[in-house]
Structure 1
């Protein structure tokens, strides 16, 4: 009989104890684990140079998929095939949701596959397998393609045999799944015959889906096997040894009201065994299996099983696991179908498209679906469509260690194999050891994780004796495009200080000063955590970067033609298409990597290393620029609209307007150039520039050691803060606002955050200048943890001549 243990939330880690008195005590003694799941819905999976990747982030409790309520840091990274992080952004997840983007607006990225990785600070202390990973492809724009190479059928194939239940039992008809792949780990289809080494035929072998398949054969202890493929490729076969003694689980039958399992043993045992049923780290139920007979049948009802991966464990009378089986239950319990209805099936270019969205599934009272939607050119899809969806990630990728090739395809019926059979093949070939809930840390082992914001911590020592400086002031100054913020802190009795949950956007100049009791910076400052640390990229994560087929040649040609037309419309557009076509601009005198909102300064002075002895930039300016007078920190200029300007000039920091006190607080060691702008060039900045402009251009990087040597007790570094979100560009075309600017959006529309219920929600946007078939994808999660999926199609097949 079943024992319901729903009040007990446990993670079954099999640490064996000889003192356990009962199965109840054994289950209750298992540690409780926690897991977060983070999913990024991207607008697509294939991009060209110059494109932008848009994403919505969903952070949920791993066990029930409800939104994680706290505010946390989220790190989003783009990783190349060598494991190098080539893009990194910091975002804030609030109430389980965030949105952002990555720009590929240069051609410094090599063509190929990249790993899009995302994680919270909490997820860093879990296994690397729990971090979100997704493969995306970035390509150059081109109109020439290499000839397709025929597959080398003479290359070696690797085939792993994975017996159901984990072991091959002697003299038993074993169900054995197999996985076939090439030397790069990419799945390959196979067809052939299994023989004994003496040449006796054992069984036919043929893969059913993505190199996966199953066969039945009676194994013999000590027997060796080989495979001969019909296409004569060489095979490296990995098959476990046959066990003469043991017990195992096997799936016997799938019924409408549940499943039937078979417990197979090589010998009878009078003692009872137990079948433990787990789901997402929780032991919900177990059943006692009476002893005596070798083989027994066990029925599990649907109410014992949950949607997704169920882990079934056979435990012997000594409370040791002897066999495991993963079973995937496909029901609609945790799904909401989002109905997407375009107002037409066919449209013209630059025509308004209206969509109605509503939940086809009845929602509970107060339940809402938070979803994101992308509308993309269908030619941007790979052969099998998107390789990952919110459904495949939450139910497969995040539950199994290691990459699952084209996980989304397992949820679609194919011509020769249904989704349920595909999923069971995956359960057999992934194996229970790949189940990500197996080895999570218990709650007691998890370190305390701070909330959202950057953390700066360190120690202040006395300059001469190097003893900790207790109870002294520490100043943190954040200088950004929108001004500066000053934080005051103190060291504790051991000289340590901490600024926690510091929030700012974009890149900012971070200045930390440890003062002595006389408010002077004659101290030694040690900073342990200057901003964001880098989390190491594991080899398992790089396994996701396998070969992928490219999009259609038609997509490349359309993109190529679009770029040519844009170059004609923008003659100075700094774009390169193919090696034969180049648009080059001459480098100006001041093209030194700094952003300037003015074409050229009236005077510019390079700040040298020895200038760091100046107290501030105003002392540095004094006497260096003609017709510029400095008294203390008051500046006035001659020749700025009056004989002597009576008011202060405009102050710029890296091209952005700031207050004077921001300029005053910047250490000279951080300044690269000081420029003065007067006359017509200052007028470009409007009335604010009428009294002249003082422009401060900072260094892009200064080493910590170098800074500390120049300014005792001071840390100076430019550090990225939280990403400042920008909106997706979606023009609206009317008769009055029609534009001649070419519009060739590949992502036609992106909406990162919508709330949907069982009443229709209207969304509208305009088509662009491309004739194409379009695909709508909607993904999200309800407030109660149900997965939301929706799709629709339409076509733009006519040109609107009035607007084209």
Structure 2
């Protein structure tokens, strides 16, 4: 009797202890999740480009979107966005700083004709996003092509087929038990995936057998090589899958089942999210906690206080936002033991882009008027920020399966890895097959934004990379003479533009650090930074013996290519595009033969070709004549310093403040010349890019007239011997051009009614029109007007963006030019 009494008391004490733990854990989850969504929310970036691929000399027109990663509304954190154009050697060719005073803003990259065709990247991020892994940055692969078919090599992935296979190959087959593990004596759902692209559209029958070769079940794969079966493992048994491909059998071992544990099953039936939890432990689900969130915002957070072996939960879809739901079951030790992703697509949450036009058919050079609005399910107009491109379908065949802002924000930005052809799942609403396939994909992917241990127990407070509200000018002050110690002294910062603006005097701190800003200004402005040992009233020259070192930032983040979503253009599409572009080029040439024309700026056909003149001018500046590796800096309008110009040079590698040259497999530190006078690499950051005329790279025997190191980077100023003129360094003062936010160029849209110049040249735009920023309102439609070109074709109108309340939208329409 006493033993029974003490046993009851012990159980009550244990239950009380567990209850206290449960209350503590659920409260911890609630507090950490609220802090994440309100204060530590991530930022997401998306970039809409005007078209999928380009030719040398083109402009890449884009609209960059920056949103709160939880709500998808305007982020209240960063006002500065970095957009980068990166070559296949991971060198940043161009970096733009964009001012984000709204959800989206315009930008553009000029593709130099001197670049090599290939696969380039567009990458965009904020400084605050650098606190996470670079895999969270937006990255998009862009194909740059040459109309010279000898230079453009079209590469497509070779998919093995029954016709081109030289010998049988064993495909990769992965197993994904729902929740994470197979558990003995519990029914488990298992998703399979054949990873080889050949099986994306080829169904394969797979049999499941046990270690005694007893048949358990079979299944046939669906699109993307996916499939699903159910298995209730038995103790002391193992299981394998048998795949038969064209008479060849391949055997795959299933993951070994656990003797004890938990299972988590979830089903979205369109109306409700149904969740089932099971356990084969003696205490059942007692002490476990179930947490459900969407992008960090809690949906469900509760602990199990009974010894049930089985529990069901139903959540109405009407209460959920669209996007990825993350379900996690924690064991009594507060470790996540089961996890599952579910995609919610509640049609009541959707918003629709409506594109209306007076007619579908137009003649050449005729005005088109489009009316745009965004409506919810109740047909109410919504405030939204949009961007629009109009593409020639002869050049760019429609690909409704590619990434857009809707697929990125709701799907790919929140799952580990990249889901290819994501637009496929949004092409048709309420399509049961696509909904099923997307659920299979959810079963094979993990949540990417945070890990539970990091969210719940990480005590790190201050992020390494701060939120940037504008342009900051910072640095440190040191003693001019040995031992060059840190000095806390008065500093002064002055804008030397059309209007001189002097900031209040600021004393550098005990570590010699000072910081001015954040400022909002565009392009470049001359500035002065000054420091004095005592004060600025002193006339003593020794009072100027202060060394000012300007901060140069922490460099650009590492490029991670395995996380980007790749350009999925087919070889036939690219070949057709090149043929069409060449046809348009011939059309333009025939038009020019009929009359003297204007080519960007007025030139006469009787004048010497300007490119040849420019080349002769550059050759005349050097002591060695021409160079095979030359960059004309006058074609660059993005770089701020001479160092940044070097990103345009093939074979030149820049790491922080160091410059290397790669030639014939070896890497060399080059001699750097400015107007053929040696300078230190650190001085390149102080020379404005606008003062540089051109750069030559000399390697091997070409460099022998200057050095025996094997490599020379030779820069030439626009005025000659201008280094000291452009870079002024005196004790206690430095002056330079502060680089502000980038001002995007305006897309050229001809006026065929009032324009005079337009009458003298062919109009052969493949991007018929581009509008990087459109603001819709609740009061009515927004009108967009443009003219058709000389190309008779079908044109695709693409509109994407996001509503004020964070709903991403994507819509298309077409016009025909006869």
Would you call these one fold, judging by a TM-score over 0.5?
A: yes
Give per-residue Cα distances to partners, 1:598-640, cap 9 Å, x unaligned: xxxxxxxx9675999xxxxxxxxxxxxxxxxxxxxxxxxxxxx
Q: Say if 1:609 and 1:500 are closer, same or farther in 2 by CA, change over 3 A.
A: farther
Aligned counterpart, 2:8: none
- Residues 1:468 and 2:486 are matched in the alignment: yes
**Residue 733 of structure 1, CA deviation:** 0.7
- Residues 1:216 and 2:237 are matched in the alignment: no
Picking from 45, 63, 80, the partner of 1:73 is: 80
Aligned counterpart, 2:570: 549
Name the CA distance, whole Å, in 2 between partners of 1:701 and 1:38: 41
- Residues 1:169 and 2:183 are matched in the alignment: yes
Picking from 585, 588, 594, the partner of 2:612 is: 585
Q: Say if 1:277 and 1:740 are closer, same or farther in 2 by CA, change over 3 A.
A: same
Q: Say if 1:115 and 1:563 are closer, same or farther in 2 by CA, change over 3 A.
A: same
Name the CA distance, whole Å, in 2 between partners of 1:559 and 1:248: 57
Picking from 789, 792, 796, the partner of 2:813 is: 792
Give per-residue Cα distances to partners, 1:675-733, cap 9 Å, x unaligned: 5xxxxxxxxxxxxxxxxxxxx7856999xxxx89x866666777754212211111111
- Residues 1:533 and 2:555 are matched in the alignment: yes
Aligned counterpart, 1:741: 761
- Residues 1:730 and 2:749 are matched in the alignment: yes
- Residues 1:282 and 2:285 are matched in the alignment: no
Judge which range, 195-204 or 262-271, deviates more. 195-204
Q: Which runs of 5+ in 1 are unaligned?
A: 1-15, 575-581, 597-605, 613-651, 656-669, 676-695, 799-804
**1:268-279 paired onto structure 2 within 5 Å:** 269=283, 271=286, 273-279=288-294
**Residue 353 of structure 1, CA deviation:** 1.2
- Residues 1:115 and 2:121 are matched in the alignment: yes
Aligned counterpart, 1:30: 32
- Residues 1:260 and 2:277 are matched in the alignment: no
Name the CA distance, whole Å, in 2 between partners of 1:365 and 1:700: 63
Residue 556 of structure 1 aligns to a residue whose secondary structure is helix
**1:278-357 paired onto structure 2 within 5 Å:** 278-286=293-301, 291-357=306-372
**Residue 456 of structure 1, CA deviation:** 2.7
Aligned counterpart, 1:178: 192
Judge which range, 213-222 or 516-525, deviates more. 516-525
Q: Say if 1:284 and 1:298 are closer, same or farther in 2 by CA, change over 3 A.
A: closer
Name the CA distance, whole Å, in 2 between partners of 1:209 and 1:546: 20
Q: Say if 1:235 and 1:297 are closer, same or farther in 2 by CA, change over 3 A.
A: same
Q: Say if 1:521 and 1:22 are closer, same or farther in 2 by CA, change over 3 A.
A: closer
Aligned counterpart, 2:786: 765
Picking from 91, 94, 97, the partner of 1:87 is: 94
- Residues 1:50 and 2:28 are matched in the alignment: no
**Residue 302 of structure 1, CA deviation:** 2.7
Name the CA distance, whole Å, in 2 between partners of 1:735 and 1:138: 34
Q: Say if 1:466 and 1:749 are closer, same or farther in 2 by CA, change over 3 A.
A: same
> Do the aligned residues in 2 keep the contact of 1:462 with 1:469 (CA within 8 Å)?
no
Name the CA distance, whole Å, in 2 between partners of 1:346 and 1:549: 29
Residue 157 of structure 1 aligns to a residue whose secondary structure is coil
**Residue 750 of structure 1, CA deviation:** 0.9
Q: Which runs of 5+ in 2 are unaligned?
A: 1-17, 535-539, 601-608, 622-631, 636-673, 681-689, 694-713
**Residue 150 of structure 1, CA deviation:** 7.0
**Residue 166 of structure 1, CA deviation:** 1.0
Name the CA distance, whole Å, in 1 between partners of 2:721 and 2:378: 56
**Residue 52 of structure 1, CA deviation:** 1.5
**Residue 100 of structure 1, CA deviation:** 0.7
Q: Say if 1:526 and 1:383 are closer, same or farther in 2 by CA, change over 3 A.
A: same
**Residue 553 of structure 1, CA deviation:** 3.3
> Do the aligned residues in 2 keep the contact of 1:280 with 1:437 (CA within 8 Å)?
no
TM-score, length-scaled by structure 2: 0.73
Name the CA distance, whole Å, in 2 between partners of 1:27 and 1:611: 57
Aligned counterpart, 2:204: 191
**1:390-401 paired onto structure 2 within 5 Å:** 390-401=405-416
Give per-residue Cα distances to partners, 1:204-263, cap 9 Å, x unaligned: 444323333323344455525244242468969584321121111112x54454132222
Q: Say if 1:362 and 1:198 are closer, same or farther in 2 by CA, change over 3 A.
A: closer
- Residues 1:497 and 2:529 are matched in the alignment: no
Aligned counterpart, 2:66: 59
Q: Say if 1:353 and 1:223 are closer, same or farther in 2 by CA, change over 3 A.
A: same
CA RMSD of aligned residues (A): 4.3
Give per-residue Cα distances to partners, 1:509-564, cap 9 Å, x unaligned: 776555555357964635362267312223543x5447652425332211011223
Aligned counterpart, 1:104: 111
Residue 169 of structure 1 aligns to a residue whose secondary structure is coil
**Residue 66 of structure 1, CA deviation:** 1.5
Judge which range, 415-424 or 271-280, deviates more. 415-424
**Residue 74 of structure 1, CA deviation:** 0.6
Name the CA distance, whole Å, in 2 between partners of 1:608 and 1:223: 74
> Do the aligned residues in 1 keep the contact of 2:186 with 2:232 (CA within 8 Å)?
yes
Give per-residue Cα distances to partners, 1:15-70, cap 9 Å, x unaligned: x9995545543433536221112222221222222222212222221222221245
Q: Say if 1:68 and 1:25 are closer, same or farther in 2 by CA, change over 3 A.
A: closer
**1:267-666 paired onto structure 2 within 5 Å:** 267=281, 269=283, 271=286, 273-286=288-301, 291-361=306-376, 367-381=382-396, 384-385=399-400, 387-413=402-428, 418-432=433-447, 434=448, 436=450, 439=454, 444-446=461-463, 448-474=466-492, 489-494=505-510, 495-506=512-523, 512=529, 514-515=531-532, 518=540, 523=545, 525=547, 527=549, 529-530=551-552, 533-538=555-560, 540-541=562-563, 544-545=565-566, 548-550=569-571, 551=573, 553-567=575-589, 585=612, 587-590=615-618, 593=632, 595=634
Name the CA distance, whole Å, in 1 between partners of 2:718 and 2:28: 72
> Do the aligned residues in 2 keep the contact of 1:459 with 1:491 (CA within 8 Å)?
no
**Residue 350 of structure 1, CA deviation:** 1.1
> Do the aligned residues in 1 keep the contact of 2:402 with 2:568 (CA within 8 Å)?
no
Name the CA distance, whole Å, in 1 between partners of 2:214 and 2:802: 54
Aligned counterpart, 1:244: 259
TM-score, length-scaled by structure 1: 0.74
Name the CA distance, whole Å, in 1 between partners of 2:738 and 2:171: 48
**1:665-744 paired onto structure 2 within 5 Å:** 698=722, 720-734=739-753, 737=756, 739-744=759-764
Name the CA distance, whole Å, in 2 between partners of 1:790 and 1:238: 45
Q: Say if 1:533 and 1:348 are closer, same or farther in 2 by CA, change over 3 A.
A: same
> Do the aligned residues in 2 keep the contact of 1:310 with 1:328 (CA within 8 Å)?
yes
Name the CA distance, whole Å, in 2 between partners of 1:40 and 1:95: 14
> Do the aligned residues in 1 keep the contact of 2:328 with 2:338 (CA within 8 Å)?
yes
**Residue 265 of structure 1, CA deviation:** 2.6
Aligned counterpart, 1:627: none
Name the CA distance, whole Å, in 2 between partners of 1:185 and 1:123: 37
Name the CA distance, whole Å, in 1 between partners of 2:118 and 2:200: 23
> Do the aligned residues in 1 keep the contact of 2:240 with 2:251 (CA within 8 Å)?
no
**Residue 164 of structure 1, CA deviation:** 0.9
Between Structure 1 and Structure 2, the one with more helix by share is 2
